[in-house]
Amino acid sequence: MRIIARLAALVLPALALIAAAPARADWQSVLDAARGQTVYWHAWGGDQRTNDFIAWVGTEAMARHGVAVAQVKLTDTAEAVTRVLAEVSAGQTEGGAVDLIWINGPNFLTMKEKGLLHGPFVQDLPNARFLDLSPGAAAATDFTVPVEGMESPWRLAKFVLIHDAARLPDPPRSMRALAGWAAVNPGRMTHPDASNFMGATFLKQALIELAPDPSILQRPADDAAYAAATGDFWAWYDALRPNLWRGGRSFPENQSVQEQLLADGEIDIAMSFDPASTAAQIAQGLLPETARVFVPEIGALGNVSFVAIPINAANRAGAMVVANLLLDPAVQARMQDITVLGSYSVLDPARLDDAARAAFAGLPTAPALPALQDLGPTLIEPHPSWMTRLAEDWARRAAP
């Protein structure tokens, strides 16, 4: 984030006024302009099932519209944001290397504030009619920041904890209970490094439960608010950390590494931002048949994943076609299929026709796949500034 901030400071104020391409009311003209384009979709590449789904989307885009999709696999979304900032800072207002970004939270806020996004464009997508875009709706808000048509939703995610029911049949269902359990079972739990999205999400989930007034998290984290909200949280974490795996001296790089620790029997609790991932991992033989998901009793943090188009994208029409394809009910149903990806749909069921509803109703299930009601209430994401400050504060505290 410091690199992004330094680059952002170099962007001349006039660049924020670069005009996006005019809104295209005629969708056929978008399709015509997109044909033959290759959309370079910069997306996190750490999950093979997601990578496979993106590849399938590319096959569909080519078959339906003559648009190719090339996934540029990222380890951190900030890599793509930094690329766009560098290009625009150098005066490259057209022909940019990034056509589409899988983006959320602080990265979206950075690009929106700096005028680095094409749009608004979502209202021009024919399949946007299947979305609830009313103010405050999940598809219209990104970490408390109004989307305002500058990014398009494509998948729904929710925080879950994972346990092996054979070893831990009754897992702790609150953060305070988790700390108590870890004190009795030292070394049997960990979380990914907080520089990784999954590790930061765990910290945010705990902060929502432990903050004296969680509503303060919906506003920017100034010094006073941060101090007031995190006192009990850091006291809790300081008590928990010595009882983590390896004494809290090292942390798994990401969710996949942590799940391998669970599979190997080194720990008893892992975590994911995909409620269907455990069932998928079992089907692939990567987790034991007895692995199950659970959520804290207060509910679980949830958000929508979006795609955005940079202001200097070389293939904006193609990117819009891909964004629209992602909202096709048949594509969303395939995405939610546990045998394919298992990510929950962003579409509003009330806006679907009978055929689309039937496609979702007929999706396969699995013992480790939770029903929507099993996931409890959805907790609202804090303002992006909280994630940034938590991760930076954790890095200072965790340093040797």
> Does 194 map to a domain?
yes
Same structural domain for residues 137 and 60?
A: yes
Same structural domain for residues 113 and 79?
A: yes
> Does 136 map to a domain?
yes
Same structural domain for residues 147 and 9?
A: yes
> Does 373 map to a domain?
no
Give the chain's domain count: 2
CA–CA gap between residue 155 and residue 327 (Å, rounded): 9
Encoding tokens for residue 379? 């907790």
Q: What is the CATH number of the domain that holds 46?
A: 3.40.190.10
User: Considering Cα of 313, then 317, then 323, then 326, what sign does the dihedral take?
Assistant: negative
User: Considering Cα of 43, then 126, then 124, then 35, what sign does the dihedral take?
Assistant: positive
Residue 209 neighbours by CB under 8 Å, 6+ apart? 174, 175, 176, 296, 298
> Does 326 map to a domain?
yes
Helices 223-240 and 197-210: crossing angle, nearest 10°? 100
Same structural domain for residues 200 and 243?
A: yes
Q: What's the predicted TM-score (pTM) here?
A: 0.75
Same structural domain for residues 279 and 387?
A: yes
Same structural domain for residues 127 and 214?
A: no
Each residue's pLDDT, cut to its tens digit, for the chain (400 residues) gives 444 444 444 443 334 333 334 344 599 999 999 999 999 999 999 888 899 999 999 999 999 999 999 999 998 899 999 999 999 999 999 999 999 999 988 899 999 999 999 999 999 999 999 999 998 788 998 888 899 999 999 998 889 999 999 999 999 999 999 999 999 999 999 999 998 889 999 999 999 999 999 999 999 999 999 999 999 999 999 999 999 999 999 999 999 899 999 999 999 999 998 888 899 889 889 999 999 999 999 999 988 999 999 999 999 999 999 999 999 999 999 999 988 988 889 999 899 999 888 888 888 889 999 887 788 888 888 988 898 999 999 999 887 6
Same structural domain for residues 260 and 203?
A: yes
Same structural domain for residues 316 and 296?
A: no
Number of C-alpha atoms within 13 angstroms, CB side, residue 15? 25
> Does 267 map to a domain?
yes
Domain hosting 36: range is 2-155+305-368
Share of the chain residues as helix, strand and coil, in percent rounded to the nearest 5: 50, 15, 35
